[in-house]
Amino acid sequence: MSKCAAIQMASSPNIGANLLEADKLIGEAAKAGARLVALPENFALMGESEFDKIKVKEADGSGQIQDFLARTALKYGVWIVGGTVPLEAEDENKIRAACLIYDDSGERVGRYDKVHLFDVSVPDSDEEYRESDTIEAGTGNLVIDTPFGKLGIAVCYDLRFPEFFRSLIMQGMQILVIPSAFTAQTGAAHWEVLLRARAVENLCYVIAPNQGGFHLNGRKTYGHSMIIDPWGVILDCYKTGGGFVMADIDLERLDKVRAGFPVLEHCRYFCR
């Protein structure tokens, strides 16, 4: 078994302050025994405008945020799933929302670019979001081998597309990490039910770090970062504000659940 943690933040437009907070929480999780620590979407910057992230975008492989992730993974001797980092896109007026994974020596071992973009008008509210104005969608997916199991990555709005996770299962995913910044309204309605559904239908662990609190741009995020087991049981949940959740990832239990309840073997579409 390995202890894994999901960090919750209420990030601000100040990158330096956000990185200090992330360092503090990662350090606390590592001290508590976590070997894998996952940060939420936009952990380094929740700008006053959605266009602020374009101003601070980094070249792939070099920059303040990427250097922080590499240095912090080495400093605490943990694997880090680095939320999302604004990286350069083909369109110079946009960014890629890239989730970067670093091992415990500070080496980057994976990159996933958010595929599904949050272009919605939230029902019964005046909230509108158009991520495609500032983000260039990714086109691939990612499952990597780690000491904790086969790790699949998704980001926030990806959660609403179950076929996406079937593609990860076909690559052997055992643990899903989904850094997010779910809004308060959509989170209250759908966050827990979607996370538990992804755990149950794929018989996998789910590690879900979320933004949680009020942000200076007027946005409120839902929080409730959680870790869920393959049977849909919530192992830990942190409701609001900065903090972290932690739980054991037990691959022997996962194997027993899958062997005794072989729904993935019974699947006739999209699972093979």
How far is it, in rounded angstroms, from Cα 252 to Cα 183? Answer: 35
What is the secondary structure of 186-203 as a DSSP string?
HIIIIIHHHHHHHHHHHT
Asked if 175 and 148 count as a contact pair (C-beta separation under 8 A), the reply is yes
How far is it, in rounded angstroms, from Cα 111 to Cα 206? Answer: 18
Inter-CA distances, 233 with 112, 160, 203, 237, Å: 27, 19, 11, 11
| Cα dihedral sign, 211-48-186-80 | negative
DSSP, collapsed to helix, strand or coil, labels residue 71 as: helix
Q: At what angle do helices 64-76 and 15-31 cross, to 10 degrees?
A: 20
User: Which residues does the annotation mark as catalytic?
Assistant: 41, 114, 156
Residue type at 266 in one-letter notation: H
How far is it, in rounded angstroms, from Cα 27 to Cα 203? Answer: 30
How far is it, in rounded angstroms, from Cα 176 to Cα 28? Answer: 22
Pinpoint the alpha helices (H) of the chain: 15-31, 52-55, 64-76, 162-169, 184-186, 192-202, 251-260, 263-266
- Find, among 250, 254, 257, 253, the residue nearest to 3 by Cα: 250
